[in-house]
Amino acid sequence: MFNIVICEEDAKIRNLISIHVSRYLFSMKVSVKAVLSIGKPQKVLEYIKHNSNQENIYFFGISFNTDINDLTLAKEVRRRLYFSPTKMQAHIST
């Protein structure tokens, strides 16, 4: 099962992304669960801190009215996931 994480400031767009992604993945018979749909990039980083061992699919908006932009958020998510203790153990043991 994959968890869906959506970060988009505009609630209407965030809802549309959620609907379309869920419908598409359901039609492809992929088991998914929306676990986080939020407009604040900081909340995504908090989520990762406690869920780095989960299989997540991320969808980010293009720009945020915060100190974290979309590209910075994507880079930080990748950095945190790549260097998470769970991922490091899996990488070392293979």
So where are the chain's domains? 2-93
What confidence tens digit (pLDDT) does each residue in 32-76 have? Answer: 888 999 999 999 999 999 998 888 999 998 877 778 888 889 999
pLDDT, residue 31, reads: 86
Using only the alpha carbons of the chain, give its radius of gyration. 14
Residue 89 or residue 66, greater confidence? 66
Q: Could you tell me the pTM of the whole model? A: 0.79
Using the predicted structure, report yes or no on whether residue 93 has a pLDDT greater than 50: no
